[in-house]
Chain A
Amino acid sequence: MNFLTTFAETAEANQDIFTALGIDLRLLILQIVAFLILVWLLGKYVYPWLMKSVDERQKNIEEAAKAAKHAQESAEQSEAATAELLAQARKEAAEIVSTAKLEATEMVTSSEAKAKAVAEKIVADAHAQTQKDIDKARRELHDETLALISLTTEKVVRSTHDKKADEAMIADMLKGAQ
């Protein structure tokens, strides 16, 4: 500070064009030096940090923009994929419904055929059983008739076939056997 004061007093002694112009040369030089120091200080310590911060900020902004763009693209892709999936799902659902209807129709048809076959079998079995019962009844009637004829014949023979008739029959039999 003393130096600056001394310099100012020396310059005051030398009256020149700067003085005539109202410019204090010493003060000007001092201001230039101060300015240069300030510039140097700023360039040394402030600007690098500031530029770094700005660069980082810019980088972050660019990354954010890129991410946003990417997200937008992803969202658009997702939306397209979703739309495609939705369309596919609708198509598959329609196919499933169509297939289900077809299968239901086939099942109904098959069930009807099975029911018809079962009904026909039941009717055929009933006919066969009825025929069997009829045959059995006929056989039983035939056998009972035979038994009745035999029993009747036995009773008639017992009452009518006396000793004389028996001996005549034996004699005929012996003649026939010879």
Chain B
Amino acid sequence: MARKLSRRDLAKYASHQLAEGVSLETVARHLAAYLIESRRTNELNIIVRDVADELTATGRVAGTVTSAHQLSSATLKEIEQFVQAKTGAAHLSLDPIVDESVLGGIKLELPGLEMDTTIARTLTILKTRYKKA
């Protein structure tokens, strides 16, 4: 049986594969196969986060942007420019998600960074921060 790889090694391997142009699906299959065989599926979320951190460290940032409506390409481009300016990423990959419950605005989720400017969050702050009971 192969020796147990650390989470850091797994993250480095996956990020290296992605940087070399291997498709995301292939890398995900390899990683999933290894985790199932070594019975470490419960570490999946942590390893994915480690991979994202490794990619960020090498200038490759992947994240999600959540909004109440489908964003236009111009708005999406503005958001990407904003994120590149904030993170200094050479390669940026943003996955747009539509969620009507946010009402308006956007919620950015990046490795090590989260920015929520949605109307739903503003209303939640209004309800919780000024609540007296």
Contacts and interface: CB of A to CB of B under 8 A. Distances in A.
Interface string A150-178: 10011001100111011101110110011
A93 to B, nearest CB: 69
B67 interface: yes
Contacts of B72: 167
B67 A174 contact: no
A143 B131 contact: yes
B130 A166 contact: no
Interface residues of B, number: 27
B130 A146 contact: yes
A143 B82 contact: no
Contacts of A132: none
Contacts of B2: none
B67 to A, nearest CB: 7
Contact of A154 (B69, B78, B103, B132): B103
A149 interface: yes
Interface in B94-133: 103-106, 115, 117, 119-120, 123-124, 126-127, 130-133
Contact of B78 (A140, A147, A150, A174): A174
B132 A153 contact: no
A90 interface: no
A166 B104 contact: yes
Contacts of B119: 154, 157, 161
Given A158-B103, A174-B82, A177-B82, A147 B127 contact: yes
Contacts of B79: 170, 174
Interface in B60-84: 67-72, 75, 78-79, 82
Contacts of A166: 67-69, 104-105
A150 B123 CA distance: 6
A169 B75 contact: no
Nearest to B74: A167
A178 B85 contact: yes
B75 A167 contact: yes
B89 to A, nearest CB: 16
B123 A169 contact: no
Contacts of B115: 177
Nearest to A151: B123
B108 to A, nearest CB: 10
Q: 8 shortest A-B CB distances, which residue pairs?
A: A163-B69, A139-B132, A150-B123, A139-B133, A166-B104, A161-B104, A167-B75, A174-B82
15 contacts: A138-B132, A139-B133, A143-B132, A153-B126, A154-B123, A161-B68, A161-B119, A166-B105, A167-B72, A169-B105, A170-B78, A170-B117, A171-B78, A174-B82, A177-B115
Interface of A: 136, 138-140, 142-143, 146-147, 149-150, 153-154, 157-158, 161-163, 165-167, 169-171, 173-174, 177-178
